[in-house]
Amino acid sequence: PAHVVTAARDPLCTEGRRYAERLRAAGVPTSTQHCPGLPHGFARFVDDLPLAKRAMAQAHAVVAAALDTEK
């Protein structure tokens, strides 16, 4: 499975969304998470931006749940 995170203020946002679409088309179970208002590399700012911290917590929860169900 894959989890693709995109950020609204990221120049690669469109490419990220297209990547998720291609994964789905290839039969890969894919979830997506779009983060409005955040820039590329926002994960570096979890200690300074509450919005970044919440977005990363959500991404971590999705990945943790996927790993837990694979046991």
Q: Is the pLDDT of residue 22 over 80?
A: yes
User: Which pLDDT value is given to residue 28?
Assistant: 97
Instruction: Average the pLDDT over 18-33 and give the result.
Output: 97
Single pTM value for the model = 0.87
Segment 6-19 shows an average pLDDT of 97
- 37: phi then psi, degrees, rounded to nearest 5: 80, -5
What pLDDT sits at residue 45? 95
Contact 66, 1 (CB under 8 A): yes
Enter the tokens of residue 21.
């679409």
Residue 71 pLDDT > 60: no
**Rounded to whole angstroms, how far apart are CA atoms 6 and 14?**
8
Which among 46, 45, 30, 33 has a CA at the least distance from the CA of 6?
A: 33
